[in-house]
Amino acid sequence: MTKNKIDNLKIGEFEISWLNGGNFALDGGAMFGVVPKVLWEKKYPCDPNNYVPLAARPMLLRTPKNNILIETGIGNKLTDKQKKIFRVNAEWDLVNDLNSLGLAPEDIDYVVLTHYDFDHAGGVVSKDNEGHLGLTFNNALHLLQKSEWEDVLRPNIRSVNTFWPENNEILRDSSNLQLIDGDIKVCEGVELIVTGGHNRGHQIIRFHSEGEVAYHLGDLLPTHAHYNPLWIMAYDNFPLEAIEQKELFEGRARKEDAWLLFYHDPFYAACKFDQKGSVLQSIGTGVL
């Protein structure tokens, strides 16, 4: 997949830019759970082997005072075997993307992680040119729910496949981790809200400035095609909670005329929807 430049999105005084955190592919059945393929393939394309294209697309949020990075992409530590398994077809290019916006990794004040699966937290620790591992965003506080971190440190038989030690050990031993217990305000206009659903400690982000609002629902709404609250991923650990939280926050977003931002959708970076789930406004190519 080619690297698409996506237009920035303004939310009042805030500016959102999209960064390349790697592109990959997963089985369509796993991405759409119990939804029959005859339905989901009308909304989302798949290849002959049933794989669907996915982005890992971190967002840079610039407020008048802070640079906030939301999610970190798949990182640059994947082995060739892992790249094959996840069908990685575009590499993590986050640092170059930041540079092209006139920023260095040191300029990031906060890294917000909705949860710690490898495709969201893989860029927290990266390899330098000599192959040494270190924190990518040295000056940033990394904001994560305490319950998520507990699960990261003690993964179960299922989550061990996504909570990789190489993504958490250096952060664990640093002073850059700030664990949160519940909802918080990061700074004026940026709130973190615990939802659970996908993971026990999954959190979402709400931004608002000058009357405009946006939500980043993390893996509760991975792509535009998941808008129906019942269309959830087989990866969700707490499916009924995921459905309930999606319904709640999609409803709030409609009322607030808010943008919904996607991390995994290579076609759309952000959309506004009507009640039936039709796209009213969008950022991104929109070409499926």
Binding of residue 71 to Zn ion (CB under 5 A): no
Nearer to Zn ion, 148 or 219 (CB): 219
210-239 residues near Zn ion, rule: CB under 5 A: 219
Q: Which stretch binds Zn ion (CB under 5 A): 111-119, 151-159, 205-213, 247-255?
A: 111-119
Q: From the CA atom positions of the chain, what is the Rg in Å?
A: 17
Nearer to Zn ion, 219 or 265 (CB): 219
Contact (Cβ atoms closer than 8 angstroms) between residue 125 and residue 166: yes
Contact (Cβ atoms closer than 8 angstroms) between residue 60 and residue 96: no
Shortest distance, position 24 Cβ to Zn ion, whole Å: 10
Shortest distance, position 40 Cβ to Zn ion, whole Å: 17
Shortest distance, position 119 Cβ to Zn ion, whole Å: 5
Q: Distance between CA 193 and CA 177 in Å, rounded?
A: 18
DSSP assignments along 136-178, one per residue: SSTTPEEEEEHHHHHHHHS--TTGGGT--HHHHHHHHTSS-EE
> Which of 232, 277, 233 has its CA nearest to residue 254?
277
Q: Which stretch binds Zn ion (CB under 5 A): 33-41, 61-69, 114-122, 250-258?
A: 114-122
Shortest distance, position 54 Cβ to Zn ion, whole Å: 8
Exactly one of 119, 148, 212, 250 binds Zn ion (CB under 5 A); that residue is 119
Q: List, in sequence order, every beta strand (DSSP E) within 47-158.
A: 51-55, 59-62, 67-70, 90-92, 110-112, 125-127, 133-135, 141-145
Nearer to Zn ion, 149 or 263 (CB): 263
Shortest distance, position 218 Cβ to Zn ion, whole Å: 8
Nearer to Zn ion, 67 or 72 (CB): 72
Shortest distance, position 264 Cβ to Zn ion, whole Å: 6
Dihedral sign from CA coordinates of 235, 238, 243, 248: negative
Reduced to 3 states, what is the DSSP secondary structure of residue 86? Answer: coil
Nearer to Zn ion, 119 or 151 (CB): 119
Nearer to Zn ion, 31 or 192 (CB): 31
266-285 residues near Zn ion, rule: CB under 5 A: none
How many residues form the binding site for Zn ion (CB under 5 A)?
2
Shortest distance, position 78 Cβ to Zn ion, whole Å: 15
Q: What's the farthest any 2 CA atoms get from each other in the chain?
A: 51
Question: What does residue 243 show for φ and ψ, rounded to 5 degrees?
Answer: -60, -45
Name the site residues for Zn ion (rule: CB under 5 A).
119, 219
